[in-house]
């Protein structure tokens, strides 16, 4: 299968999981759904990677744990955001995190142009969303927090990815477990309906696998096949992919200024990503969200 097709499949799977999650928001609070997704994905990854077979240092465990807590908070904020905003809009605004990191750590015209395009696109998307009233404001604040967490995820993710045998997906398994445990006192009580509803539990497992396990694994396959510049261009497809999934599954049709905003953010992602040459720099820019 060609690498671009694998990447598109990864994006579709990721946002189909998010759309399924939106369907549960009437039965469980969005933040609780996000926490359950992280917890279930952690169990799947622990069974797959078995990180207890790896020799860990205290510093390595500490970094992986912090990485996982930031990842869990990012997921919680993202799910609150998509409860109040269209999926495509939320994903595009969240990309301010990685674009901001690229602009802050890079140099040259691509980085400066990228942050300018991203800011313009987000202003358009936010302006359209604010017509939705107070609920849209809540969504914008939540997605802003998710974007900040994504930036932290990238910076911490590089350290986890470079940890050798204890890094990569193994580090992700430990991190997700830590994030799930840290947030458990806040969300475990509100998750009790899952214990008595097999259908609800099955949908949550599907969300965890679709939005976390499958996309991360597929993206690793793509990264082995394409250079960073090509991956950056593929990465720019994600806001559009989210908009398509939102339109098909949630009837959230983008139009007018929203389409222009999505195009500007996608162009910013492509520009800032192409400026980043080392393969490791690109690996951790795509979170399992």
In a domain, 289, yes or no: no
In a domain, 88, yes or no: yes
Mean of the per-residue pLDDT values of the chain: 83
What share of the chain has pLDDT > 90, as a percent?
35
Q: Which of 83, 203, 99, 89 is nearest to 148 (CA)?
A: 99
Residue 232 has pLDDT above 80, yes or no: no
In a domain, 15, yes or no: yes
Q: Which of 121, 122, 39, 27 is nearest to 76 (CA)?
A: 39
Helices (H), the chain: 3-24, 30-49, 58-82, 87-94, 96-105, 109-129, 134-161, 168-187, 198-208, 214-225, 228-235, 237-250, 257-274, 279-283
What number is the average pLDDT over the span 206-227?
78
What number is the average pLDDT over the span 125-142?
77
Q: Which of 240, 235, 242, 236 is nearest to 283 (CA)?
A: 235
Question: In the prediction, which pLDDT does 223 show?
Answer: 64
Rounded Cα distance, 118 and 269, in Å? 8
Residues 173-205: pLDDT tens digits?
A: 899 999 999 999 999 999 999 999 999 999 999
In a domain, 288, yes or no: no
Residue 123 has pLDDT above 70, yes or no: yes
**Based on the structure, what is the number of domains in the chain?**
1
Question: In the prediction, which pLDDT does 229 show?
Answer: 60
What number is the average pLDDT over the span 193-222?
86
Question: In the prediction, which pLDDT does 280 show?
Answer: 40
What number is the average pLDDT over the span 51-66?
90
Residue 288 has pLDDT above 50, yes or no: no
In a domain, 135, yes or no: yes
What number is the average pLDDT over the span 118-124?
79
Entry pTM: 0.83
HSE of 205 in the Cβ direction (CA atoms, 13 Å)? 10
Residues 136-157: pLDDT tens digits?
A: 889 999 999 999 998 888 888 8
Rounded Cα distance, 151 and 145, in Å? 10
Q: Virtual CA dihedral for 74, 75, 80, 84, nearest 10 degrees?
A: 90
Write out the residue range of the structural domain in which residue 269 sits: 3-283
How would residue 228 be classed by pLDDT, with cut points 50, 70 and 90?
low
Residue 132 has pLDDT above 80, yes or no: no
Centroid of chain to Cα 262: 17
In a domain, 143, yes or no: yes
Task: Kindly give the interhelix angle for 198-208 and 30-49, rounded to the nearest 10 degrees.
Answer: 70
Question: In the prediction, which pLDDT does 268 show?
Answer: 81
How would residue 283 be classed by pLDDT, with cut points 50, 70 and 90?
very low
């Amino acid at each position: 299968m060609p690498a671009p097709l694998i990447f598109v499949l990864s994006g579709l799977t990721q946002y189909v999981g998010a759309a399924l999650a939106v369907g549960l928001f009437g039965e469980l609070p969005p933040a609780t759904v996000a926490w359950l997704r992280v917890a279930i994905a952690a169990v799947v990854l622990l069974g797959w990677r078995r990180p207890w077979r790896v020799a860990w240092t205290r510093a390595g465990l500490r970094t992986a744990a912090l990485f996982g807590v930031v990842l869990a908070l990012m997921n919680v904020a993202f799910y609150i955001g998509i409860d109040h905003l269209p999926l495509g809009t939320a994903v595009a605004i969240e990309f301010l995190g990685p674009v901001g990191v690229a602009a802050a750590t890079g140099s040259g015209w691509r980085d400066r142009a990228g942050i300018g395009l991203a800011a313009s696109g987000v202003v358009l998307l936010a302006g359209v969303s604010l017509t939705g009233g107070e609920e849209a404001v809540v969504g914008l604040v939540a997605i802003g927090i998710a974007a900040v967490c994504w930036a932290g995820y990238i910076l911490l993710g590089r350290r986890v990815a470079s940890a050798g045998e204890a890094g990569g997906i193994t580090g992700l398994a430990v991190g997700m477990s830590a994030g799930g445990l840290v947030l458990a006192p806040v969300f475990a009580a509100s998750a009790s309906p899952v214990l008595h509803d097999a259908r609800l539990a099955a949908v949550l497992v599907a969300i965890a696998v679709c939005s976390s396990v499958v996309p991360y694994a597929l993206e690793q396959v793509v990264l082995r096949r394409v250079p960073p510049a090509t991956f950056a261009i593929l990465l720019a497809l994600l806001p559009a992919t989210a908009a398509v999934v939102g339109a098909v599954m949630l009837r959230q049709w983008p139009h007018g200024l929203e389409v222009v905003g999505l195009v500007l953010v996608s162009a910013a992602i492509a520009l800032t990503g192409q400026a980043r040459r080392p393969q490791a720099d690109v690996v951790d820019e795509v979170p399992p969200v």
